[in-house]
Structure 1
């Protein structure tokens, strides 16, 4: 078998969740980020205060939408973005 890269078949296109603005309730957003990512409180705060920040990378669309809803519920502005298809070299 020849060496090469083969795209894997998956259920959907992976999505990223980007925090664009933490809003005025930063502590509430930090708590949501901590719950979603499992990061420490300090790292969650650093992530929230350095916007735009990637909160989750390569998750299914349903998980990304739930995450954005949770962040918006805490007063933040967030968006879902599709990951671009990788360019694989031709064999």
Structure 2
């Protein structure tokens, strides 16, 4: 099943979350920063459930709040 990763709160260290998004998606730092300014936001779409779940754990470990949602 394909899912999306939704970020709901960058936590206390938003700069670390911007860097994490940049490393995992390859998006520019500017684009990553703009993503976390409008929450909730979808970080990844159409990825396997295992990938999305692993990334949610990584975001939570970095102090952010995130979850997966099934693609419509």
TM-score using structure 1 length = 0.75
Q: What displacement does 1:36 show?
A: 1.0
* SS of aligned partner of 2:27: coil
Greater relative CO (CA pairs within 8 A, separation 6+): 2
Runs of 4+ in 1 over 4 A off after TM superposition: none
Residue aligning to 1:77: 65
- From the two aligned structures, give the one with the greater helix fraction: 2
Q: What is the number of residues matched between the two proteins? A: 72
Q: Please list every run of 5 or more consecutive structure 1 residues that lacks an aligned counterpart in the other structure.
A: 1-12, 85-91
- Give the RMSD, CA atoms, in angstroms: 0.8
Contact 1:19-1:53 at 8 Å conserved across structures: yes
Bigger-Rg structure (1/2): 1
Q: Please list every run of 5 or more consecutive structure 2 residues that lacks an aligned counterpart in the other structure.
A: none
